[in-house]
Structure formats: C-alpha cells, structure tokens
Amino acid sequence: MSKLTAGDVPEHVAIIMDGNGRWANSRGLPRTMGHRKGVEAVREAVRTAGDVGIRYLTLFAFSSENWNRPEAEVSDLMGLLKAFIRRDLAELHGQNVRIRVIGDKKNLRGDILPLLLEAEETTRSNTGITLVIAFNYGSRDEMTRAMQALAVEVAQGRMTPEQITPEVISSRMDTAGIPDPDLILRTSGEERLSNFLLWQAAYSELLFVPELWPDFTREVFLAALEKYAGRERRFGGLSPRQTIAVGS
Ligand code: FPP
C-alpha cells in the first residue's frame, strides 16, 4: 500500500520511457515487441497518475531524433501511437483526461497529425489529468521555434527585446499553460535528459530508476513517487531548517 499523502504528490510528472528495446532483446524478441509492451505500461502509468492525483503527466513518446532509427521501427512506433489514440481515445475521454501534444507539428506526413489534433480537440474541455504526449519533440527544436517566433514579434515592432522575460519565453514554448515538471523520471538506468524539457526542467527533481519501461508497473511508479516525496525542494533558496539557523 502506498504511503503517499496528498501534499506529497507532484503536480506534474514527466517521463522518459526508456528500455523497450533492451526489454525485448533480453527475451530474444524483436524490438517492436518491447514497444508493444511499452504501450501497456503507458496505460498503467496514466491510470496510476490519475489515481494518486497527479494533474499533468508528460510522456516522451517520440523524439525529433527518433526519425534516425531504422524505417521499420519508426513505422512501428507510428503505428502504435496511432493505434493507441484510435483505441484509447474514447476511454481516456470518458475518464475526463485532457490530451495535449507538444513537439513540432509541421511537416508530419500521413494521418498522424489529424489523429493528434483530434485527440486534443475531443478532450479540450476535460478537467481531469492532462496527458501531455511529446511527439516529434526535441527541447532545442522547441526553444529554437519559440525564439524565432519572438524574433518575428520584435522585428515587427510588436515587442521590445526588454519585454522578453522568462515568463514570456515560457508562454511561447509548446508547454505554454502547463506548469514546469516537479519530477522528471527516466527508466532503464540511463541518467541523462536527452533533449527533453530542458527549459522547463530548471527546478525539476530528477529520478532515474533501473526498471526498463515495459516493467514500469504501478508499484514501481508509486515507489518513485515516495522517493520524490522524501526530497527537499529549495528552488535556489534555503530550507526551513537552514533559515532558522541563519536567523538565530
Ligand atoms: C525508448 O525505448 C522508447 C521509445 C523510443 C518510444 C516510447 C514509445 C512507446 C512506449 C509507445 C508509444 C507511446 C504512446 C504514448 C502510446 P528504446 O527503444 O530506446 O529502448 P532501448 O534503449 O532499450 O533500445
């Protein structure tokens, strides 16, 4: 049973779902089987996040660099994401889940973009957990697009350079309106951010768990949340204990 109390629950958890390929390899299966099993872990993670009261769950589904994988694997990942939206959208909508998609939506081929837009549109007014799907997403690409947009505004005289504040920059990111992640979690033991939410991660707690993504069960998620609950977040300031010591 989880020992989490409401005050311990992060508002926004972002996850780098890593290790599908290794999960499959270790069983002598093709990598695609790892991704398939990964979709089941996605379903369980969304359910768990909703159950414990997380308000935003961001999942790194496909990076702007993932296009460099073999064509068969890219096509399989696309197929899985499309199948997920086709099959699960009605149920997610029924559970009051709001879907947001971050990443570059330009130049996407085929029927993936209409499906992503439909998922956002159908669930726009839902008030439950927001599931943020990072698709064709890369942090430097997101920042580049935001800076280009700001440069145009300055060039057109709609904004002065001095008016560009951190808040203004945040409002031009794909994540506009979404609070920065309190916790960024990565599975499979790898310890890096891989171009994920670099601007938004300024004060995020980072947690790296050894389990491969297909093994990311409810229990593993809850254990990670308990670890997060034990962390002390200072946002560049002092802890209450340190403040008392300085004052006395
Ligand atoms: C990393 O494992 C995982 C991915 C690149 C894709 C994650 C996608 C899914 C779980 C399925 C679709 C998503 C949704 C939201 C339905 P890896 O292949 O890099 O594993 P490895 O490092 O072991 O090779």
Would you say residue 167 lies in a domain? no
Interval 30-59 mean pLDDT: 98
pTM of the predicted model as reported, rounded to 2 decimal places: 0.94
- Domain containing residue 38: CATH number: 3.40.1180.10
pLDDT of residue 240 exceeding 90: no
Q: What is the dihedral of CA 13, 80, 76, 28, to 10 degrees?
A: 80
Q: Is there a domain that residue 170 lies in?
A: no
Evaluate whether residue 162 is within a structural domain.
no
Q: Is residue 155 one of the residues assigned to a domain?
A: no
Taking the CA atoms of 239, 243, 246 and 248 in sequence, report the sign of the dihedral they define: negative
Determine the distance separating the centroid of ligand 1 and the alpha carbon of 246, expressed in angstroms: 47
Q: Is residue 100 part of a domain?
A: yes
Closest C-alpha to ligand 1, atom 24: 21
The binding-site residues of ligand 1, defined as CB within 6 angstroms of any ligand atom, are 17-22, 35, 38-39, 42, 59, 61, 66, 77, 80-81, 84, 133, 213
Number of domains in the chain: 1
Residues 162 and 141: their CA atoms lie apart, in Å, by: 23
Tell me whether residue 189 is in a domain.
yes
pLDDT for residue 54: 98
For 202, the domain range is 6-138+178-247
Quick check: 244 pLDDT over 70? no
What radius of gyration, in Å, describes the C-alpha atoms of the chain? 19
Query: What mean pLDDT is predicted for residues 75-101?
Result: 96
Q: How far apart are CA 133 and CA 147, in angstroms?
A: 22
Mean predicted confidence (pLDDT) in 17-29: 98
In a domain, 146, yes or no: no
Please indicate, yes or no, if residue 14 is contained in any of the structural domains: yes
Q: Is the pLDDT of residue 114 over 90?
A: yes
